[in-house]
């Protein structure tokens, strides 16, 4: 297809011929017989966005779940109302997500029994690591004698017994296309190749089986080192989930002990002590992080994280300035799926109540946008609108200046993957 009158981020205007790759970029290109022509009308054309860390099935399933996080529910009475009015899914369960202890304290089966005793209920903590089930739910899974109803998400002894809801993958993919997302990296750690989602409009890259989630109560330096070494011997990179400083320190120690692969990644890096930044530089490992959590959870961080450690949260600017390769993502559904909101969070770092958290980590709008331009295998290398690059583009109905000022998904006019329009407003 041919895109006419496209303004690039540098302000220059070009015609762009695009197929599976970008074929030509020139001041003016002659049309070909039968070729589709899209008039950009001097709107901005950028590389399609790549969300470098999300979870397709979970994000699709969230669309028919109820949210019970602090943004939606304020106390135990509110949680009771939310569960009491929730629709029971076709599998016979009420499925709730995004819970945090700030709502009604630690959840267990007894609290859920008091709030919703009659229908099987499962509530996912916003970290995604655990679910809490009420007694009706435990009985349905043959776990009537379970002491507290708190179950790890990664434990297949119970999760495989839950009937999987038909995940609205196509609906979620259409939503992403409306944000200008042309590529995604699915970070679900235990996703088998035969279970991979289908019907997506985006190019999809999978981290499994090279993704590893760490837990502070089971950190094992030797075991992690052996796993990394095994992956590297097979010629494959690793992606290690690090949301606490302890997890990051152990991962850095393991990588220093066994060496690195050019594609190795640290997922999240939610807490980065200042003295670890130099180690990340030396290792050359890419950090894939989500500053959107500052905007979504910043007020809880101000309560839960000691003031002296809050500057460690969701670093971006300090990592870039030190020379650490960085890419951004949303971690949907644990974070909001809109990458433009994540960009705004990286720029402004305002909590829901408007408090700026970590002002030294703020970056420019242009830099935030560029951190979504990477490819699946080179997350920290921004793609360009240039011949030879992937034919994945996003047309925005505004000038470059307006795009960088607003960073707003409503400006997305068309999304193109491999020369095919997959979204048009």
State if pTM tops 0.95: no
User: Strands 393-396 and 44-47, how do they pair?
Assistant: antiparallel
Q: Is 19 exposed, middle or buried (0-12, 13-18, 19+ CB in 10 A)?
A: exposed
Closest CA to 251 of 230, 281, 221, 277: 221
Would you tell me how many other CB atoms lie within 10 Å of the CB of residue 253? 14
Q: What are the backbone dihedrals phi and psi of residue 184, each rounded to the nearest 5 degrees, phi first?
A: -140, 155
Q: What is the pLDDT of residue 159?
A: 87
* Domain 65-159 part of CATH 3.10.310.70: yes
Per-residue pLDDT at 294: 98
Considering only the top CATH level, what class is 1-47+384-425?
mainly beta
Give which of 399, 295, 425, 424 is closest to 355, Cα–Cα: 295
Quick one: pLDDT at residue 162?
A: 86
* Cβ contact 22:389 at 8 Å: yes
Strand partners, 184: 51, 204
**Cβ-proximal residues to 314 (8 Å cutoff; 6+ apart), any chain:** 269, 270, 289, 290, 291, 293, 294, 358, 361
Residue 416, SS3 per DSSP: strand
Burial of 49 (0-12, 13-18, 19+ CB in 10 A): buried
**What is the distance between the alpha carbons of residues 83 and 77, in angstroms, rounded to a whole number?**
10
Instruction: Output the pLDDT for position 255.
Output: 98
Which CATH superfamily does the domain covering 49-56+167-382 fall into?
Metal-dependent hydrolases (3.20.20.140)
Domain ranges of the chain: 1-47+384-425, 49-56+167-382, 65-159
Spatial CB neighbours of 170, under 8 Å, sequence gap ≥ 6: 199, 200
Burial class of residue 108, CB neighbours in 10 A (0-12, 13-18, 19+): middle
pLDDT in tens, the chain (425 residues): 999 999 999 999 999 999 999 999 999 999 999 999 999 999 999 999 999 999 999 999 898 899 999 989 999 999 999 999 999 988 899 999 999 999 999 999 999 999 999 999 999 999 888 999 999 999 999 999 999 999 998 898 998 888 776 679 999 999 999 999 999 999 999 888 998 999 899 999 999 999 999 999 999 999 999 999 999 999 999 999 999 999 999 999 999 999 999 999 999 999 999 999 999 999 999 999 999 999 999 999 999 999 999 999 999 999 999 999 999 999 999 999 999 999 999 999 999 999 999 999 999 999 999 999 999 999 999 999 999 999 999 999 999 999 999 999 999 999 999 999 999 99
């Amino acid at each position: 297809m041919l895109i006419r009158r496209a303004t690039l981020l540098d302000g220059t205007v070009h015609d762009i011929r695009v197929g599976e790759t970008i074929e030509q970029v020139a001041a003016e290109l002659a049309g070909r017989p039968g070729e589709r022509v899209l008039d950009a009308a001097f709107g901005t054309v950028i590389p399609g966005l790549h969300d470098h860390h999300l979870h397709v099935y979970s994000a699709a399933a969230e669309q028919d779940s109820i949210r019970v996080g602090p943004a939606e529910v304020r106390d135990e009475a509110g949680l009771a109302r939310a569960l009491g009015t929730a629709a029971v899914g076709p599998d016979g369960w009420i499925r709730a997500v995004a819970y945090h202890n700030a709502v009604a304290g630690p959840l267990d089966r007894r609290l859920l029994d008091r709030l919703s005793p009659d229908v099987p209920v499962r509530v996912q903590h916003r970290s995604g690591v655990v679910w809490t089930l009420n007694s009706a739910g435990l009985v349905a899974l043959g776990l009537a004698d379970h002491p507290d109803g708190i179950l790890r998400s990664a434990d297949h002894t119970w999760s495989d017994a839950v009937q999987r809801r038909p995940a609205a993958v196509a609906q979620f993919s259409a939503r992403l296309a409306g944000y200008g997302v042309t590529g995604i990296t699915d970070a679900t750690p235990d996703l088998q190749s035969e279970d991979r989602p289908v019907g997506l409009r985006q190019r999809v890259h999978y981290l499994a089986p090279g993704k590893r989630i760490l837990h502070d109560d089971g950190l094992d330096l030797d075991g992690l080192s052996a796993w990394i070494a095994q992956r590297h011997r097979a010629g494959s990179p690793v992606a290690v989930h690090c949301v606490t400083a302890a997890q990051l320190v152990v991962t850095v120690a393991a990588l220093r002990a066994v060496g690195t692969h050019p594609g190795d990644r640290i997922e999240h890096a939610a807490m980065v002590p200042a003295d670890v930044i130099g180690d990340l530089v030396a290792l050359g490992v890419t950090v894939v992080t989500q500053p959107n959590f500052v905007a979504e959870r910043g007020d809880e961080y101000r309560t839960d994280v000691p003031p002296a450690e809050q500057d460690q949260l969701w670093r971006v600017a300090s990592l870039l300035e030190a020379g650490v390769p960085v890419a951004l993502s949303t971690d949907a559904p644990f974070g909001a799926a809109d990458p433009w909101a994540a960009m705004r969070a990286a720029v402004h770092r305002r909590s829901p109540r408007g408090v700026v958290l970590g002002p030294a980590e703020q970056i420019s709008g242009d830099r935030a946008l560029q951190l979504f331009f990477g490819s699946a295998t080179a997350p920290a290398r921004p793609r360009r609108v240039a011949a030879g690059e992937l034919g994945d583009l996003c047309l925005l109905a505004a000038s470059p200046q307006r795009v960088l000022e607003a960073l707003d998904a409503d400006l997305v006019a068309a999304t193109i993957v491999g020369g095919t329009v997959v979204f048009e407003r």
